Amino acid sequence: MGDKESATVPVAVLGSGNIGTDLMIKILRLSSTLQMAAMVGIDADSDGLARAKRLNVPTTAEGIDGLLQMPEFEGVRCIFDATSAKAHQRHAAIAAEHGKVMIDLTPAAIGPYVVPPVNLDALSDNDNVNMVTCGGQATIPIVAAVSRVASVAYAEIVASISSRSAGPGTRANIDEFTETTTAAICHVGGAKRGKAIIVLNPADPPIVMRDTVFCLIEGQLTVAETNAITASVTQMAAAVAEYVPGYQLKHDVQFERFVDVMIPALGRRMTGTKVVVLLQVRGAAHYLPDYAGNLDIMTSSALRTGERIAELRGWDRR
């Protein structure tokens, strides 16, 4: 558990479903910076609110309107939104009105996309940041790792998750998942063009999250360049694993050379090198099952974001 005696930054979590509850437990167990000031839901009978009460976290079942009436609200520095894209529109406006920083785990993407090891420090002054998607948090660091060595003409990611870990929100927002992740592959990952695919696997027992990253680089890479990409990817994977312990490379980075091949996504022929990276994300099982690595990486990334923003803004200084 984190050193809770030193936790000095009050935060609130909106959403008492799986993601919000897992995030609450992570804050309570792991953070020596963030302090749970309020757990907010709209279902008084939800397991998340019941758990919060048992853990002595102040709660309300009246949504953000209830949060505004809580005495703890004044001291809240940051609000994590684990509700829905539609609800986030209003939540963001209220947070801005009251001077609260918003970390958005929904597909609303009002603020800039943040992937902690890639661009968090540069965006820490923003008052609303978006955590992209689970697939984005898993794969965009790898695209960025390749991009910092060589120009990526096209990047494609395939995120395979257990259908059991895809709740109603995920299923209702498949289009938003692909659009948001695709945009972030370019804006954050550095690829000139991108594409995202999500696969819901019904296997029983459930599979853990698996991700495949393909990057196309124009021209043939030298041995020195392939070595530099391998080192960059390995370093980036270690950086992610610092806050998502179940994140790992499944195989060595692969390189496939090709000559004069038609690339439909680019609409032209190309000679170059395809870089292939295979990943696995196993959840920490703080609240969710360990196969739900897709949800775990979202809450872990949000926690890292909140802690780093608090550090960079000096909130954690007594």
147 is in an annotated binding site: no
186 is catalytic: no
What is the number of other CB atoms lying within 10 angstroms of the CB of residue 55?
14
Angle, nearest 10°, between helix axes 116-123 and 293-313? 30
Sheet holding 78-81, edge to edge: 59-60, 34-40, 9-14, 78-81, 101-104, 128-130
User: Cis ω on the peptide bond leading into residue 205 (within 30° of 0)?
Assistant: yes
What are the helix (H) ranges across 148-248?
168-172, 174-187, 223-241
271 is in an annotated binding site: no
126 is in an annotated binding site: no
171 is in an annotated binding site: yes
Which H or E run includes 254?
strand 254-263
302 is in an annotated binding site: no
142 is in an annotated binding site: no
167 is in an annotated binding site: yes
Amino acid symbol at 174: I
128 is in an annotated binding site: no
Reading the block at residue 72, the tokens are 């703890």
Task: Tell me which of 78, 134, 186, 215 is the catalytic residue.
Answer: 134
272 is in an annotated binding site: no
174 is in an annotated binding site: no
173 is in an annotated binding site: yes
DSSP letters, 139-159, are HHHHHHHHHTTS-EEEEEEEE
99 is in an annotated binding site: no
What is the number of other CB atoms lying within 10 angstroms of the CB of residue 238?
13
Residue 177, SS3 per DSSP: helix
Residues 6+ apart with CB under 8 A from 213: 139, 142, 143, 155, 156, 157, 275, 276, 277, 278, 279
CA atoms in the 13 A half-sphere facing the CB of 167: 12
User: 257 vs 5, 42, 90, 221, 222, CA distance in Å?
Assistant: 55, 54, 49, 8, 11
168 is in an annotated binding site: yes
165 is in an annotated binding site: yes
Cα angle 17, 95, 53 (rounded to 5 degrees) comes to: 35
Q: Which residues are annotated as a binding site for NAD(+)?
A: 16-19, 165-173, 294
Q: Which residues are annotated as a binding site?
A: 16-19, 165-173, 294
Catalytic residues: 134
